[in-house]
Structure 1
Amino acid sequence: MSRDFFKLLFEISEALVTEEVAALKFLSLEHVPRRKLEAIQEPKAFFEVLQEKDMIGVGNLSFLKELLYQISRIDLLTAYLGSSREEMERDLQVPGRAQVSAYRQLLYRIAEDLTPEDVASVKFLLQKLLPKNKLQENASMLQVFLEMEINGIIKEDDLTILKDLFQSVRADIKKKIDAYEEKKKENYSREEVRYPVSVSGHPEEQGAEGEAAKQHGKIYTMKNNPHGYCLILNNHIFKNPRDNREGTLQDGEAVKRVFKWLQFKTVEYMNLEGKKIYETVKEYSKKDHRNMDCFVCFIFSHGERGKIKGVDDECVNIEDLVSCFTGTNCPSLAGKPKVFIIQACQGSVRHPPVTIEPDSSGHLEVDASPLTSIPDKADILIGMATVEDYLSFRSHKTGSVYIQSLCEKMELLCPQRVDLTAILTEVNNEVARRELEGSKQMPKITSTLLKQLIFEVPQ
């Protein structure tokens, strides 16, 4: 791993104080087990755990940026991570972008807003609900909140007791909790109106529709943790600098965020030559997947008809990559779904710099044209960013239209148990509607899946 990366973490850790480390730990509880966090006293140890959990790494600093923003260390955010308060505020307004839940943010903001007298009053009112040794004078409000969670006194969907406490201590904070609950209810209602329960709930709970789903909609088993590998091959810097793909780092971060949330072992390889792309895919096909449910592979690069380009301009056939995972070549994934999502462009000549840039060489030949056929094997799904005669678009700042839409739809629809083919169809619909520099983009799905592929969302 880059020495510059470790130097960056060292310098940030040197600037953090004990209370800030406690805040970082509290804000990370949904991503790192409490047992791991309890033993941590030093910021360096905290950063080591985040690396173990793939929450931070070289080229993957979005979670660190968000944490520093949440604890108001804007000086570190600006000096070491090249961001700002305004940039983070804009970024975190994008649906699904925040990795710290609104619930945990609420508790942290409440703790920050309390005076010592307020904290003492809350502890006094909790005497019958929590053991006295958890309410000692030196216990912080974040520690008290943690104990309340452990004892089931507060939950993300039940803050009744917390509201009752603050009704007596600080009525203004009780109003903040009310506002949080109202906003959560509005968001839930909006999603329900758009995507009715009939496509998203558990089939066995839906009467006649559920019976039909059971008979006609068999579902792939998703019971392991991790469910499988999510392999990301992301080509950003090419040997010819004119071919560099600005915005592709944002695509990588979006995919990592979604698939870590979905409990996949997520691995990203950057800037691979053509031969190395094939070798990497083949290496993963040789792994033992017996204790896994699925395999997912994202490829971001330039391309030609049916091919992906390495950073050395050498091509590899998409069909050759997919064939590594047929039942014969990868027996430990036989009968299990294999998913390939490909965002690729056509050539090496850039269009003039604009806000939205075609991922192409400037002619309306195919980006990386979809396969006319896939290997004659079952359980494979290929999602392509484009079909023939359409361009694939990528923003320098926010990433590719196709991948960003896919990640947003997965964050919205996976909790509603919508299967992946239906999600990709939604993406096709959204991308096709958009007017992009006077052109259109039409993604394509090619599938030999035999069942519905529904990603289980951790509770």
Structure 2
Amino acid sequence: MSTEFRKLLFEVSEALVTEELSALKFFSLDYVAKGTLEAIRDPKDLFEVLQERCMIGVGNLFFLKELLYRIHRIDLLTAHLGSSREEMERELQVPGRAQVSDYRQLLYGIAEDLTSENVQKVKFLLQGPLQKSKLQENASMLQVFLEMEINEIIKEDNLTMLKDILQGFRADLKKKIDAYEGKKREKYSREEVRYPVSVSVYPEEQGAKQYGEIYKMKNNPHGYCLIINNHIFKNRRHNREGTLQDGEAVKRVFKWLQFETVEYMDLEGKKIYDTVEEYSKKDHRNMDCFVCFIFSHGEKDKIKESDSSGHLEVDARPSTSIPDRADILIGMATVEDYLCYRSRRTGSVYIQSLCEMMELLCPQRVDLANILTEVNREVAKKDMEGFKQMPKITSTLLKLLIFEVPQ
């Protein structure tokens, strides 16, 4: 690393105060695990971590420029990075250029706009959902937002409680959240999936915005949605708390999408196999597709049955199986050799994100492969108590799979 670059980072870090460091850490949460950020007490340490994550470096200064712009340190932007407010505003208008998410920009803007009296009101109203120790007098609004995220009170696609809190005394900020949500919906509605073939073989689909052939989805029900959900194990320490919420979420979504949905609980190994085989032999001639979810502990190439033993605190590592025929899509909660995480209170990070995205994007005729890609992006951004999770898609689909939403 060049001496000049190190000097630049040193001079910028020396000019930052504690509140500004907190803001920079908040903006970096999509790229650095929460546990790592919590241990940082000096801007120089933050810059070291951002270099390790390849977010800043020699010849790669845009994220640093954006961070300084977001915290209104235009003086540092100008003096040390040769940029200006006007230049940053022009660059940030370029689609995909901004590295700080709209969600974090929104929360930071709200934190800036709240008066000290407002912050105390927010803390008072959160004394039920949050522990009192997390709402101390000196806790900043960004720290409160972070605790709300940790406890899943707010997240990028669900700001309902924050809106309810602000409605009573800062309706103007509630309207800011409404505008953010409207912009997010508009973004999804504008996005088009680009495929090399531009004409559908189905005349009734000619008006669709997507490019490429589309699988026929005209039957009711469209097919079976089979859920195998292992909750209770002989060793009670291995019980998968939160998995009932996953089952309910999947049943809600697929019943809405007109699937015949059935859930089997706590199956032993042979029974898992027999159940899947039973559904494979059913008459599917008047159906469009088949969906199967398996929720359990596991190891590479194995699923844990409900009489199993062994110490596991997280869910399955995926099998490396690749489908050997066309028209199959497999979505896995995590890539090989990594773990997937489940909240005992709200369910699996992956399944809950999947269900939320399907409810949001299916009405906008986004195909399943792109929905799963959006789920991958959402899950990869989350911080699971210092750990990260990266889902995986394996597909031999030949057409777009678009779920018909009942009118």
TM-score w.r.t. structure 1 length? 0.46
Aligned with 2:319 (options 350, 353, 370): 370
1:252-289 deviation digits (Å, cap 9, x = unpaired):
00000100110111000000000000000000000001
Distance 1:219 1:285 in 2: 23
What is the one-letter code of the residue matched to 2:282?
K
Instruction: Give 4+ residue runs of structure 1 displaced > 2 Å after superposition.
Output: 90-96, 185-194, 196-200, 210-216, 367-370
Distance 1:350 1:303 in 2: 8
The equivalent residue for 2:278 is: 283
Give SS of 1:445's match: strand
Distance 1:442 1:453 in 2: 23
Aligned with 2:244 (options 243, 246, 249): 249
Indicate whether 1:294 and 2:289 are aligned: yes
Distance 1:439 1:198 in 2: 31
State how 1:47-86 maps to structure 2 within 5 Å: none
Q: 1:197 Cα deviation (Å)?
A: 2.4
- How many residue pairs match? The answer is 237
* Contact 2:300 2:337 (C-alpha < 8 Å) held by counterparts: no
What is the one-letter code of the residue matched to 1:286?
K
The equivalent residue for 1:309 is: 304
* Contact 2:246 2:347 (C-alpha < 8 Å) held by counterparts: yes
Indicate whether 1:190 and 2:183 are aligned: yes
Distance 1:92 1:441 in 2: 20
* Contact 2:300 2:336 (C-alpha < 8 Å) held by counterparts: no
Aligned with 1:426 (options 374, 382, 390): 374
1:289-322 deviation digits (Å, cap 9, x = unpaired):
1111110000000111122121122xxxxxxxxx
What is the one-letter code of the residue matched to 1:265?
E
Give SS of 1:294's match: coil
Q: 1:215 Cα deviation (Å)?
A: 9.6
The equivalent residue for 1:440 is: 388
Indicate whether 1:452 and 2:373 are aligned: no
Distance 2:209 2:179 in 1: 31
Q: 1:242 Cα deviation (Å)?
A: 1.8
What is the one-letter code of the residue matched to 1:384?
M
Change (3 A) 1:93 1:262: farther
State how 1:98-109 maps to structure 2 within 5 Å: none
State how 1:155-166 maps to structure 2 within 5 Å: none
* Contact 2:199 2:212 (C-alpha < 8 Å) held by counterparts: no
Q: 1:204 Cα deviation (Å)?
A: 8.5
Give SS of 2:262's match: strand
The equivalent residue for 2:328 is: 380
Aligned with 2:214 (options 204, 210, 219): 219
Q: 1:212 Cα deviation (Å)?
A: 11
RMSD: 3.5
TM-score w.r.t. structure 2 length? 0.52
What is the one-letter code of the residue matched to 1:277?
I
The equivalent residue for 1:240 is: 235
* Contact 2:223 2:290 (C-alpha < 8 Å) held by counterparts: yes
Distance 1:263 1:188 in 2: 27
1:138-172 deviation digits (Å, cap 9, x = unpaired):
xxxxxxxxxxxxxxxxxxxxxxxxxxxxxxxxxxx
* Contact 1:406 1:427 (C-alpha < 8 Å) held by counterparts: yes
The equivalent residue for 1:349 is: 311
Give SS of 2:292's match: strand
Q: 1:368 Cα deviation (Å)?
A: 2.5
What is the one-letter code of the residue matched to 2:372?
L
What is the one-letter code of the residue matched to 1:280?
T
Distance 1:432 1:186 in 2: 25
Distance 1:410 1:241 in 2: 33
Residue segments in structure 2 that go unaligned for 5+ positions in a row:
1-127, 130-150, 161-174
Bigger RCO (CA 8 Å, 6+ sep): 2
Change (3 A) 1:372 1:263: closer
Percent identity of paired positions between Structure 1 and Structure 2: 68
1:317-350 deviation digits (Å, cap 9, x = unpaired):
xxxxxxxxxxxxxxxxxxxxxxxxxxxxxx8424
The equivalent residue for 2:223 is: 228
Distance 1:253 1:440 in 2: 25
Distance 1:289 1:187 in 2: 43
State how 1:267-278 maps to structure 2 within 5 Å: 267-278=262-273
Change (3 A) 1:372 1:226: closer
The equivalent residue for 1:126 is: none
Distance 1:262 1:234 in 2: 20
Distance 1:257 1:212 in 2: 29
Give SS of 2:350's match: helix
* Contact 1:370 1:386 (C-alpha < 8 Å) held by counterparts: no
Q: 1:211 Cα deviation (Å)?
A: 7.9
1:5-24 deviation digits (Å, cap 9, x = unpaired):
xxxxxxxxxxxxxxxxxxxx
